[in-house]
Amino acid sequence: MANKSIYVTQPSLAPLKDVIPYLERIWETGIMTHNGPLMQQLEKELSDYLGVSDVVCLVNGTCALQLAIRALDLKGEIITTPFTFIATSNIIAWERCRPVFVDIDPDTWNIDPDKIEERITEKTSAILPVHVFSAPCNIRRIEQIAKKFDLKVIYDAAHAMCVNYNGKSIMSYGDVSCTSFHATKLFNTCEGGACITNDEELAERIRRMRFFGFNERKEIVADGMNAKMTEISAGLGLANLRHLDYVRKNRQKKYEIYRSILAGCTFINFQKYYPDEYNYSYMPVLFDSEKTLLQTIEKLNAENVFPKRYFYPALHDTPIFDDITLPMAESIAKTILCLPLYDSLNEEDITKICEVILQV
Ligand SMILES: Cc1ncc(COP(=O)(O)O)c(C=O)c1O
């Protein structure tokens, strides 16, 4: 089909001319990191954009999850989903807690709230759900369960920039939401991430932890690490933030083209979502069988198109976590495929990708 290769994603980048003024400021001030002015500006602009009290910018989304677990002093077992990127459960284990997997909902592919209570024990300290591909978890039910069992809630909102839930940013729910600003995300700072919370005291603790345990007066008041966002990342983030609404709309348009062409396809299904509560950063499709999925990948690869099996396998089904049988997560992980979706992907390429799929 194409001479050029088409990969599953490409970074959304502001025009270079919009990034350069931020780089010039770094060259002028000589400040490259350490709670610098660009990072402070990015935190302020993001908290206004999201309507939350605190955004703590960090070196990546994995670190955001790690510091959230630490700052909430979680121990024992953390209830989570097996249908996510490995970072979510790895960091739970890295922090010496046990990830306890719960099966997922067949429509939203997020943690199934009806199955959470049966996995809670006296060792459970928190629930860590993921808004997969930006579709919101059942936040209302999760909040009820957390309240009933006195559990903390950390949302992994790595996919969920620009998503609202009940009229406010999805990032404002839970004790804290953790997000990723990785190059592949809707909003990126190359590498980067953030903890987002309305709990100012918690935000302060995370700020100290990211900066070796220093407080604002540079006194050592806690233990900590180095998880600061650099000024170069923050400058890129400020430029990208100006283009974010365009990026989201552009992806929505492309997502809808895929949906309209693939609408009649008998062996494909889609994630359930509501238009205001979705950011269209991924184009996940669910096949009726793994066999059809593998045939499709082969046909697309032959045309230089490289979709991605994402997330595969389900994490409870891996040698590191080998936990229990969770049929829905296993079935969805085996039959899910993310098709190419990014700003510069053109309509003609989408049409051709769909034609290949329809001929499988
Ligand atoms: C669901 C989810 N959680 C966590 C992460 C980790 O984020 P980062 O790559 O910024 O460390 C990712 C990253 O891709 C992710 O998709």
Q: How many CA atoms lie within 13 A of 55 on its CB side?
A: 28
Residues near 345 by beta carbon (within 8 Å), at least 6 away in sequence: 6, 10, 254
Last residue of a domain, one of 242, 277, 296: 242
DSSP letter (8 states) at residue 115:
G
Atom of ligand 1 nearest to the CA of 193: 10
Atom of ligand 1 nearest to the CA of 64: 11
Same domain, 62 and 96: yes
Question: Is the residue at 2 inside a domain?
Answer: no
Question: Is the residue at 35 inside a domain?
Answer: yes
Does ligand 1 lie within 6 Å of residue 293's CB atom? no
Same domain, 69 and 119: yes
Same domain, 194 and 320: no
Question: Is the residue at 311 inside a domain?
Answer: yes
| pLDDT for 151 | 98
CATH of residue 312's domain is 3.90.1150.10
Does ligand 1 lie within 6 Å of residue 60's CB atom? yes
Taking the alpha carbons of 89, 92, 97, 103 in that order, is the dihedral positive or negative?
Answer: negative
CA 328 – CA 286 distance, rounded (Å): 12
Rounded to a whole number, what is the largest CA-CA distance in the chain? 65
Contact 229, 98 (CB under 8 A): no
Contact 281, 310 (CB under 8 A): no
Q: At which residue do the structure tokens 């989408």 appear?
A: 350
Does ligand 1 lie within 6 Å of residue 61's CB atom? yes
Last residue of a domain, one of 213, 242, 271: 242
Both tokens assigned to 120: 């809670």
Last residue of a domain, one of 242, 269, 287: 242
Question: Is the residue at 1 inside a domain?
Answer: no
Same domain, 180 and 329: no
pTM of the model: 0.97
Does ligand 1 lie within 6 Å of residue 129's CB atom? no
Same domain, 159 and 252: no
Q: How far is CA 232 from CA 34, 41, 241, in A?
A: 12, 13, 14
Q: What single letter denotes the amino acid at residue 252?
A: Q
CA 195 – CA 206 distance, rounded (Å): 8
DSSP letter (8 states) at residue 95:
T
Same domain, 65 and 191: yes
Question: Is the residue at 95 inside a domain?
Answer: yes
| pLDDT for 2 | 56
Domain membership of residue 135 as a residue range: 16-242
Same domain, 254 and 227: no
Residues forming a β-bridge with 56? 195
Question: Is the residue at 295 inside a domain?
Answer: yes
Same domain, 170 and 274: no
Q: How far is CA 3 from the centre of its chain?
A: 31
CA 92 – CA 69 distance, rounded (Å): 8
Same domain, 153 and 205: yes
pLDDT by 10-residue block (mean), the chain, 360 residues:
86 98 98 96 97 97 98 98 97 97 98 98 98 98 98 98 95 97 98 97 97 92 96 98 97 97 96 93 98 98 97 92 90 98 96 96
Does ligand 1 lie within 6 Å of residue 88's CB atom? yes
Both tokens assigned to 234: 């923050």
Distance from residue 70's CA to the centre of ligand 1 (Å): 18
Residues near 161 by beta carbon (within 8 Å), at least 6 away in sequence: 134, 179, 185, 186, 187, 244, 279, 281
CATH of residue 195's domain is 3.40.640.10
CA 352 – CA 24 distance, rounded (Å): 42
Counting ligand 1 atoms within 8 A of each CB, the residue from 66, 78, 84, 85 with the most, and so the one to mutate, is: 85
Question: Is the residue at 4 inside a domain?
Answer: no
In angstroms, what is the C-alpha Rg of the chain?
Answer: 21
Both tokens assigned to 148: 């009933």
| pLDDT for 276 | 83
Both tokens assigned to 231: 């000024």
Counting ligand 1 atoms within 8 A of each CB, the residue from 62, 81, 189 with the most, and so the one to mutate, is: 62
Backbone angles phi and psi of 154, in degrees to 5: -115, 120
Q: How far is CA 352 from CA 86, 273, 303, 349, in A?
A: 32, 25, 10, 5
Q: How far is CA 328 from CA 86, 115, 338, in A?
A: 18, 12, 18
Q: What single letter denotes the amino acid at residue 97?
A: C
Residues forming a β-bridge with 127? 79, 153
Same domain, 211 and 251: no
Same domain, 103 and 116: yes
Question: Is the residue at 9 inside a domain?
Answer: no
Same domain, 347 and 263: yes
Number of structural domains in the chain? 2
Instruction: List the helix and strand counts (H, then E) for the chain.
Output: 11, 14
